[in-house]
A and B are shown apart, each in its own frame.
Chain A
């Protein structure tokens, strides 16, 4: 059972297994263990980003493709839901329609980018994706009648997913079971299922061909694999998964805008999450995304505590001021890349 779920790809390290189980338990029980709007927001974001980062690792770590268009596909998913639901009304039908349209659009675009430009060298491909992604972000902010421009789109969802909907009369384990909890579990289970699907893809015969192409595309061609074809297929699979992550994020936030999905800042975050977690292993996405999102959300709080505690000591409180959180996040990254070049998962496995 577990073997089938994990596609025979075990964590291969006791510490990593414990860490992954802790993350899984934390996310599965988040509404009960970490009650409160903000912590549930963070938990949902972790779920979405695990999927997004895992799909990016399929490209970067497994296939050796450097793409900057990944948040574009993330954005297509989110905007697909947002546009469909705000135009056609908050029904399940429009939600499904928007999702399917977004997935189709992403697959087509990924195929097009792949076939037209995966023949060129890595660096040129990266530049092309950067251009396409920037173009898309500008398009989304300019077509304001359609996409809501810089403000984005806020919309209603089917009633079951709204926070005002109560499902149980009495609270369960002290937590009110409402539409927000339903959407959280929708996000959680969908992200988990898609993550396991990606884990299967990288451990399939196809996944091994991708690794072979990453290692030596010349030789992969010589034994009969057309690398352009396989790279394009990988690009499509990754784009579909990224769009699915975007769809889930749009369901969770009930908002889609340039800053939550399309922006290149998110692309950079995803890149960092892959590197911190460990490239070329799906479990790296879990660890990287979880740590990053939590740091992004709670480092400021932690610093405020530290800054207050250090009150009276000269200079230190200023250094620990919450406004300096980006500085500290940066230092944490530099240290982690220096200390764990193979990522946290690589480090844990090498022990």
Chain B
């Protein structure tokens, strides 16, 4: 049953979401709801299942058990492209671009997907000025406008990360999923991305999920933190409270040491 889109109802909900790879349970019975206008940080040690959880949400993987709902609609059976068309957008942890296409083309393909123009066979792509202008706008926002004609493969790592974010922006989703957006970026590049995430958050109606390792980033951006550990959701709450909780000190920050 589809519920009305309002602030009280979650945008996205996972219900007992699990995935098993052979004997290994990578995500175990994770139930969580995400509300519009909030930024939730997902933290946990390496191998905790954060990216796998993301893959289950955005449709790259199918769960062994459990359901994913978007605005109350069960989307568990939908493939990634269909989820994207319903308003989910994802930036990947490992840079994932179209290497031989130009920077502009990378973004323009996302704009074109959002405009639903993929099956247009008989017009020249370059004649769709409005799509190109929008793509340029997103490049401008991530400060890549001057590299628009370079092939994506020729960009420095930090710039590729920015392009990754520009592609996500170009999809204009309701639900943004960032998987360690600043990983591997130099110190002076990080603020550009954080500023963008701030801007999206300040729009007020967007829902943001953020996987992030840097605690200062999480502290400055998140309204809420959930902690995954060995595939299970072990803590959920306000940032200060979660960071201070013993389970996080132990599981994530490793201050108590390993067994």
B87 CB to nearest chain A CB (Å)? 10
Given the known inter-chain contacts A7-B124, A212-B109, please indicate yes or no for A205 contacting B97, CB distance below 8 A: no
Q: Write the A176-209 contact mask toward B (1 if CB under 8 angstroms, else 0).
A: 0000000000000000000001001101111111
Given the known inter-chain contacts A222-B80, A222-B84, please indicate yes or no for A215 contacting B96, CB distance below 8 A: no
Asked if residues B124 and A225 are in contact (CB atoms below 8 Å), the reply is: no
- Residues on B with beta carbons closer than 8 Å to the beta carbon of A233: 119
B181 CB to nearest chain A CB (Å)? 15
A201 to B97, CA, bound (A): 23
Asked if residues B105 and A208 are in contact (CB atoms below 8 Å), the reply is: yes
The 3 A-B pairs at the shortest CB distance, nearest first, are namely A224-B113, A224-B84, A215-B98
B114 CB to nearest chain A CB (Å)? 7
Given the known inter-chain contacts A215-B99, A221-B79, A222-B96, please indicate yes or no for A204 contacting B122, CB distance below 8 A: yes
Interface residues on A, range: 20 to 34
B117 at the interface (CB under 8 A from A): yes
A218 at the interface (CB under 8 A from B): yes
A237 to B121, CA, bound (A): 10
Asked if residues B98 and A224 are in contact (CB atoms below 8 Å), the reply is: no
- Residues on A with beta carbons closer than 8 Å to the beta carbon of B85: 224
B128 at the interface (CB under 8 A from A): yes
A31 CB to nearest chain B CB (Å)? 32
In chain A between 1 and 24, which residues have their CB closer than 8 angstroms to a CB of chain B? 4, 7-8
- Residues on B with beta carbons closer than 8 Å to the beta carbon of A201: 121-122
Q: How many of B's residues come within 8 Å of A, CB to CB?
A: 38
Q: Which one of A200, A219, A225 contacts B118 once the chains associate, using CB atoms below 8 Å? A: A225
B171 at the interface (CB under 8 A from A): yes
A152 CB to nearest chain B CB (Å)? 34
B156 at the interface (CB under 8 A from A): no
Query: Could you give 19 example pairs across A and B, Cβ below 8 Å?
Result: A200-B124, A201-B122, A205-B120, A205-B125, A205-B128, A206-B120, A216-B96, A216-B97, A218-B96, A219-B96, A219-B97, A219-B98, A223-B167, A224-B171, A225-B81, A225-B109, A225-B118, A226-B81, A237-B121
B126 at the interface (CB under 8 A from A): yes
B100 at the interface (CB under 8 A from A): yes
A226 to B79, CA, bound (A): 9
In chain B between 99 and 134, which residues have their CB closer than 8 angstroms to a CB of chain A? 99-101, 105, 108-110, 112-114, 117-128, 131
B111 CB to nearest chain A CB (Å)? 10
A237 to B122, CA, bound (A): 12
Asked if residues B120 and A222 are in contact (CB atoms below 8 Å), the reply is: no
Asked if residues B84 and A223 are in contact (CB atoms below 8 Å), the reply is: yes
A155 at the interface (CB under 8 A from B): no
Asked if residues B118 and A205 are in contact (CB atoms below 8 Å), the reply is: yes
In chain B between 162 and 188, which residues have their CB closer than 8 angstroms to a CB of chain A? 167, 171
- Residues on B with beta carbons closer than 8 Å to the beta carbon of A225: 81, 109, 113, 118
In chain A between 229 and 260, which residues have their CB closer than 8 angstroms to a CB of chain B? 230, 233, 237
A235 CB to nearest chain B CB (Å)? 14
Given the known inter-chain contacts A203-B124, A219-B97, A224-B171, please indicate yes or no for A208 contacting B92, CB distance below 8 A: no
- Residues on A with beta carbons closer than 8 Å to the beta carbon of B97: 216, 219
A7 to B128, CA, bound (A): 12
B90 at the interface (CB under 8 A from A): yes
- Closest chain B residue to A208 by CB distance? B125
A211 at the interface (CB under 8 A from B): yes
Asked if residues A221 and B81 are in contact (CB atoms below 8 Å), the reply is: yes
A180 to B188, CA, bound (A): 71
Q: Which one of A7, A205, A211, A219 contacts B112 once the chains associate, using CB atoms below 8 Å? A: A205
B101 CB to nearest chain A CB (Å)? 6
Q: Which one of B84, B105, B123 contacts A204 once the chains associate, using CB atoms below 8 Å? A: B123
Q: Which one of B84, B90, B109, B124 contacts A209 once the chains associate, using CB atoms below 8 Å? A: B109
